[in-house]
Structure 1
Amino acid sequence: MHVGSKGWYVEELKSLGVRTYEGRKIEKYKKHVLANLLEEKKN
């Protein structure tokens, strides 16, 4: 899996314990939303 791909963001978020966002599975979101969410969770 390439760093920065959608699958990579999903994997990173799941490793932090994030499975859903606003009541929807994180797999349903586009990459830029996942990138912002990951940035928010790391800080």
Structure 2
Amino acid sequence: MHVGSKGWYVSQLKRLGVNRHEGRKIEKFKTTTLANLLEDKQN
């Protein structure tokens, strides 16, 4: 898995305990949305 890929963002978010966002599974979102979500959760 490459750093910055969609799968990487999904695994990082799951490691932080985030499985859903806005009532939908995080796997359904685009990479840019996941990147922004991860940045918000880390701060």
Normalising by structure 1, we get a TM-score of: 1.00
RMSD: 0.1
1:1-43 correspondence runs (5 A):
1-43=1-43
The one-letter code matched in structure 2 to 1:21 is: H
Q: Which segments of 5 or more consecutive residues in structure 1 lack a partner in the other structure?
A: none
Percent sequence identity over aligned pairs: 72
TM-score (norm 2): 1.00
Q: How many residues align?
A: 43
**2: distance between equivalents of 1:15 and 1:26?**
12
After TM superposition, where is structure 1 displaced by more than 6 Å over at least 4 residues in a row? Answer: none
